[in-house]
Structure 1
Amino acid sequence: MSISANAVNANDNQLAADYGAQARGGLVLDTLRMLKKADAGERVVYHDAFTNRDVSLDQALTGDITPRDLVGRLDLGDVGIMGHSRGGEGVVAASTLNDALPVWQQFGIKAVLPLAPVDYDRISLPNVATATILPYCDGDVENLMGQHIVDDSRHSFGDNVLRSAVLVMGANHNYFNTIWTPGGWPAGTGDDWSFAEGVSDPVCDPKAATTTRLTPDQQVQVGATYIPAFFRLALGGEKRFLPLFDGSAVTPPETSFARVTSTATQPARSRVDINTFERQDRSVRVSGDATAEVCASMGGAGGVTLPQASPYCSTTLNQAAVPHWSPALWAWNIPSTPMLHMKWTSGSGQVRVTVPPAARNISRFEQISVKVAADEFVPTATDLVVSVIDGTGRAWSAPVSQLNPAAVTRMPGVSSPWLRKVILQQVTIPTSSLTRLRLTDVREVRFTAAAGADGAASGGVYISDLSAENRGVGARVPARQATVNVVPANVEEGSGPGTAEVAAVLSERAGHPVSAYVSVYNSPAGQSGASMRPVTFAPGQVCVAVPVATLGDALPSATASTSFKVSATNVAGGVMGDKGFGTLTVREDDGVTRGAPAPEVGVPGDVCDEYAASQRPGRLLVKGAVVPGATVTLSARGYRAGESVEFRLDATSLGRALASADGTVSFTAAIPSATSGGTIVLTALGAGSRYTTEARVKVRTH
């Protein structure tokens, strides 16, 4: 079935801090809840706010299907979801929101397929088989940012599920959507590559004689082959479809006209990692005329803007050409996909990787796998000899160009800076070919420089994820994930550079570390500097204070306060929560040139203590009888020094008072003469701390 997200599409950028990912995810879960009721035979009715009328499922369904046809027909413990473009990020969000629910409320989402997706938020995705389809000639999501969905998730959870990235050469963005394809709708259709930088590049220009482009019908056929194949594999257990997604060089006859490749990270129980190359490691040794360092992210024009812990993998390419490292819109400065960058100037260059003792017995595995890509300085193609050595010193060797020539060959492109992309390709060595080796005692894997098709003695490659593995899909294990959220923060501007704090919080205590990256986005107006901080919650910890630079001054402004977006993304060991986006609001404390100033937010205390206090109301003391038209004295403690505290009777504001230096506040409140008898709630809310105290009292009317 297909879910309409038109209302989200019309409002996402304007109303949603994450540009609508979680709204789309929530819509998916709401639809599953509706289907659950329909399956149980319950009446389903929603209120249509636009027409101001109730609409039943019976009225909404068209065609021959009625609600009676759905009763007892749905297995919502066996669910696969697919989304295109922003919908691709939406189905990722749906799965993470589902994982945040108590297990008894979760749906059995076992397979997620993001199709040409955006990934503005770097949402990592646990506990579900994933296949991300990436079109090489995408003129809309030109940096193929969906690659991050696989990259960010593959080592973040230790879960037992397959993750696959499927690259479709010659495909664009729109033709996977019949409504966006010319002829599919009266307006708003077209070939998105026509908006590309370097549109006339003969690789992706459909008018060029040497184009690799697929026709709309061919692209639909690719989708109609791979999408159901993935769900039949992940949900139906039809293993014959596994080679389409596990890194095997297999082309189904239905798409013999297309070049489609896949790279995969096998389920955790089906592999042993020899080296992921995500951090510097003494087991990786370099010799001869070679260098090798762990790099991450993209620098240069269009790259990250804050200092990084690792050297950049690329500084010369357009962000569209480096899907592994292109910055994400709302996670711009977060490190991306670390890997080993090996470079050499002669055939003597070599990298040796010691196999750790726990991984030396590979006799139970089908293959050794590694991901490789020629770097941007290779003109056409380079080469590399990969060798496997056992404990007796016997070796097996083969050029990568024989195992998978695409791994050492530059991707196609002529004039567009969006092409000649650098994307890792899978190289596999069947263990059945290692006949001379003692497979119970493999000690080393070597990568030795070689000349490729361009004949150059020098070269360079990126290397990632060396493992011994069996091919498989794995299985989802129902579990509730802790969520990482951001607490909105309020601070005074100050008169110069300073530091504020934002609280990153975990929804529940976890028995293992949970990590994320917290980012703050600045604005041309200043007041807060852009920042990015890695955050780790130790087992049992639920709050971490994240420092943020502020840029105060002594000048008035026209704006009473300015809010800056804060995000907690790329979570490992948990998931992004439904409050993964928040705000840091900076109050103008030097006066405003128009309008009224914002209420004082006071001097912040420990942000984690403030967050804990905000989770439960404190006690508001009431002195005097509560009588309509009379006054009472309200007092409380626990506020920030100097913050404005608003007093309310139910929803009616009674006025404000400033908390003293010791955090106490007192206010003489006039009870409105129209107040009815019975029990009322009096509250006092701090403008900065958001701490609330309350009292429930009875109104005396006689």
Structure 2
Amino acid sequence: MRRWKSERVRVLLLSTLATTLVAGACVAPLKLARDDSDVVLSRQLLAAPNPSQKGSFAVKSLYYGSGTDKQRAVYRDSVTLKTAVVNGAKFASAPDPKQAQIRKKYWGFDFTKLPVNGRVWYPDAPGPFPLVLVVHGNHDMKQFSDPGYQYLGELLASRGYIVASVDENFLNGNIRGENDARGWMLLKHLQSWKRFNDSTGSPLQGKVDMHNIALMGHSRGGEAVTVAGAFNRLAYYPDDATVKFDFNFDIKSLVAIAPVDGQYRPADKPTPVANYNYLLMHGSHDGDVSTFNGLAQYERIRFTDGKPWFKSAVFVYRANHGQWNTTWGSLDGGPRSARSLDTRGFLSQADQRKFAEVYIAAFLDATLRGKSEYLPMFRDHRVVGQWLPKTMYTTRFQESGFRTAADFEEDVDVTSGSVRGIALSSDSVAVWKESPVPFRARGSTQAHNAVTIGWNNRIAGDDTTKLGKPASFAMQVSDSLRTSWNVGASSSLVFSLTPTDAKPGPRAAARDTTKKADSLSKSAAKKPAPKKPAPKDVKPDTVAVDLSIEVTDAAGRSASLPLSAYGVVRRPLESYVYRRAGRDKQRFANVYEIVLQTYAIPLADFTRATPGFDPARITHVRWRFDRSVAGTIILDNIGFSNMRPEFTAQTIGAAR
């Protein structure tokens, strides 16, 4: 018997070893893009206190809720402020009767009696203080998600904010199409907060500045905050006008962390959001929301009321989905994903949360408390290089002073801009087309168009060193448009751009028109063309891309600056989500996400480079491809901005 057992153990050990070896053979080597952060983040140009440092206020905490919660002891036994339940049956439901029974048995309530629960961190001082609500996304409903933002709650409270982490765990789990409920619940929480602030005897009486409110959400919660922003200004629920809305809170700012988009579509349309400050962040190695879906919502944010709003998006290389929440951790798909997701290249949890602390605290300080000294970092992250974890960032930015010259959405004429008075042209390019910007997910786009320009300045032929005139793409600006937009020395040229790894072949040599076609010898005419060699796998181009931005005024004076002086001209960063070799290429259309970098170039910089150039008489802008022999770029959102002076307190060029 003993011998049989030892043999069985030996077989099991060999089997386990074989399985491990096979599994190991399928694991791809760790592959990360070359990190340039030592150079890009080497300087600190913003003279302000680090927003991730704790403030001067002592922090207190409390819970509010129904006081009857079956599963959550803190919302049953530790409630300081009582709230009434709300009927959310119009907004969410279980996927089937069986699930409805399971959910009600576990929670003790159904969708007609949803609790308004939250955990609060607030300054131990009279106030009033701005209010920030943060809401989690979808997760196992029995693994509660709302405690996971304590690190943000305590930091922000110490800096003079009241922060509530909203409990929506009862909307988690096996449920779909409920993001309208998540957004609506945030507004129901704000109704409770108004009562907390107005009620005599409340520990929060008079402490809440209800005129300075921010909503912050993660994952499905990241979409929920924009849904709440839309619902806040509507009189009726778009999908059922028998439900009347009466919110109209003074929400100033929205923060979306790795959000989904389109999980809820009001009246089957993308959620329209206007006139809020908006901060979006997402990680390149997100194993749950693996596509930067929030970019579609970013594009839809509009500024229409003439007030000073802005939006900013940051793509964080090596950040994942779960580490924004301390209870979710590094396994974006839960414990079962440990064998499938590649966690080896992640930022540390401390670094990922440090980034969140820096950007979120600065964003709230700038938009709710008027601390304009932080505004330049949303235009160019390089000005706060010493505050940021050492990784790579791609950033988008736009503020309400921006005037769109060309966003490639208006028609199918590639020579027209987005407004009358803008004309587009090209010279010696190999590729010129307008098309939707793709997401990495197969068959998915960012729901907006851009122009793709490809070039190769090399002349085809035996002499591979012969170069032709540098290719260019140009925008002409009419006098009337320039005048109506008040373009001048205080304006900036703004656009978003990324190079790709596509590389067109050399351009054809110019034909010699002095020779007649029939002058060729008969033998030469009959000589068969040599066979082309079989195509080989083309390796992606890794040569750094740069180009010049050239402007011309009405007097014909031109000035030129290198684009690289105003931000890294970096190709999309490859990111591998899965451990198994080849899995990313099977799952996604690309192993990278196309995220365009926004560049803002003060027109005054051109005058400094070429005295005599007059920004107030600018007639042409050219993207001149004279610093890289060949390449391809995607270009979008071209325009001019007379942005607030606070945004230009540190010029982007100074960060080079």
Q: Give the 3 Å change call, closer, same or farther, for CA 336–2 of structure 1 in structure 2.
A: same
Q: Decide which of 467, 487, 501 is 1:362's aligned counterpart.
A: 487
Shift in Å at residue 189 of structure 1? 4.9
Q: Give the 3 Å change call, closer, same or farther, for CA 84–350 of structure 1 in structure 2.
A: same
* Aligned 8 A contact 1:180 1:188 in 2: no
Structure 2 matches for 1:32-431, cutoff 5 A? Answer: 32-41=190-199, 68-101=202-235, 105-120=247-262, 121=265, 122-154=270-302, 160-181=308-329, 189=334, 195-196=340-341, 199=342, 205-206=343-344, 211=345, 213-247=346-380, 249-267=382-400, 270-279=401-410, 280=413, 281-282=415-416, 283-298=423-438, 318-319=440-441, 326-327=444-445, 336-346=447-457, 348-357=470-479, 358-359=481-482, 361-363=486-488, 365-378=490-503, 379-380=541-542, 381-407=544-570, 409-413=571-575, 416-417=584-585, 419-431=591-603
Q: Give the 3 Å change call, closer, same or farther, for CA 143–20 of structure 1 in structure 2.
A: same
The match for 2:604 is 432
Structure 2 matches for 1:292-691, cutoff 5 A? Answer: 292-298=432-438, 318-319=440-441, 326-327=444-445, 336-346=447-457, 348-357=470-479, 358-359=481-482, 361-363=486-488, 365-378=490-503, 379-380=541-542, 381-407=544-570, 409-413=571-575, 416-417=584-585, 419-435=591-607, 436=611, 437-450=613-626, 452=628, 457-472=629-644
What one-letter code is carried by the residue in structure 2 that aligns with 1:352? A
Shift in Å at residue 168 of structure 1? 1.3
Q: Which has the higher helix share?
A: 2
Q: Give the 3 Å change call, closer, same or farther, for CA 473–232 of structure 1 in structure 2.
A: farther
Distance 1:193 1:443 in 2: 57
Deviations 1:294-333 (A, max 9, x none): 21254xxxxxxxxxxxxxxxxxx8427xxxx935xxxxxx
Using the size of structure 1 for normalisation, the TM-score is: 0.52
Shift in Å at residue 450 of structure 1? 3.5
* Aligned 8 A contact 2:312 2:379 in 1: yes
What one-letter code is carried by the residue in structure 2 that aligns with 1:93? V
Q: Which has the higher strand share?
A: 1
Shift in Å at residue 466 of structure 1? 1.6
* Aligned 8 A contact 2:476 2:620 in 1: yes
RMSD: 3.0
Q: Give the 3 Å change call, closer, same or farther, for CA 5–467 of structure 1 in structure 2.
A: same
Instruction: Find out whether 1:4 has 2:122 as its counterpart.
Output: no
What one-letter code is carried by the residue in structure 1 that aligns with 2:216? M
Q: Give the 3 Å change call, closer, same or farther, for CA 10–459 of structure 1 in structure 2.
A: same
Q: Give the 3 Å change call, closer, same or farther, for CA 228–194 of structure 1 in structure 2.
A: farther
Distance 1:344 1:182 in 2: 42
What one-letter code is carried by the residue in structure 1 that aligns with 2:261? D
Distance 1:155 1:377 in 2: 35
Q: Give the 3 Å change call, closer, same or farther, for CA 168–289 of structure 1 in structure 2.
A: closer
Distance 1:442 1:261 in 2: 29
Shift in Å at residue 220 of structure 1? 1.2
Deviations 1:511-536 (A, max 9, x none): xxxxxxxxxxxxxxxxxxxxxxxxxx
The match for 2:461 is none
Deviations 1:534-557 (A, max 9, x none): xxxxxxxxxxxxxxxxxxxxxxxx
The match for 2:179 is 21
1:33 partner SS: helix
Specify which structure has the bigger relative contact order, considering alpha-carbon pairs within 8 angstroms and separated by 6 or more residues: 2
Shift in Å at residue 262 of structure 1? 2.2
* Aligned 8 A contact 2:548 2:626 in 1: yes
* Aligned 8 A contact 2:252 2:368 in 1: yes
* Aligned 8 A contact 2:408 2:451 in 1: yes
Q: Give the 3 Å change call, closer, same or farther, for CA 364–190 of structure 1 in structure 2.
A: farther
Q: Give the 3 Å change call, closer, same or farther, for CA 182–190 of structure 1 in structure 2.
A: farther
Give the percent of matched residue pairs that are identical in Structure 1 and Structure 2: 23
Give aligned pairs, total: 394
* Aligned 8 A contact 2:492 2:600 in 1: yes
Shift in Å at residue 194 of structure 1? 6.4
* Aligned 8 A contact 1:234 1:473 in 2: no
Distance 1:193 1:243 in 2: 39
Distance 1:227 1:386 in 2: 33
Mark the runs of 5 or more structure 2 residues left unpaired by the alignment: 1-163, 237-244, 417-422, 458-468, 504-540, 577-581, 647-656
Q: Give the 3 Å change call, closer, same or farther, for CA 266–188 of structure 1 in structure 2.
A: closer
Shift in Å at residue 215 of structure 1? 0.2
Shift in Å at residue 404 of structure 1? 2.3
Distance 1:142 1:343 in 2: 28
1:117 partner SS: coil
Distance 1:431 1:193 in 2: 51
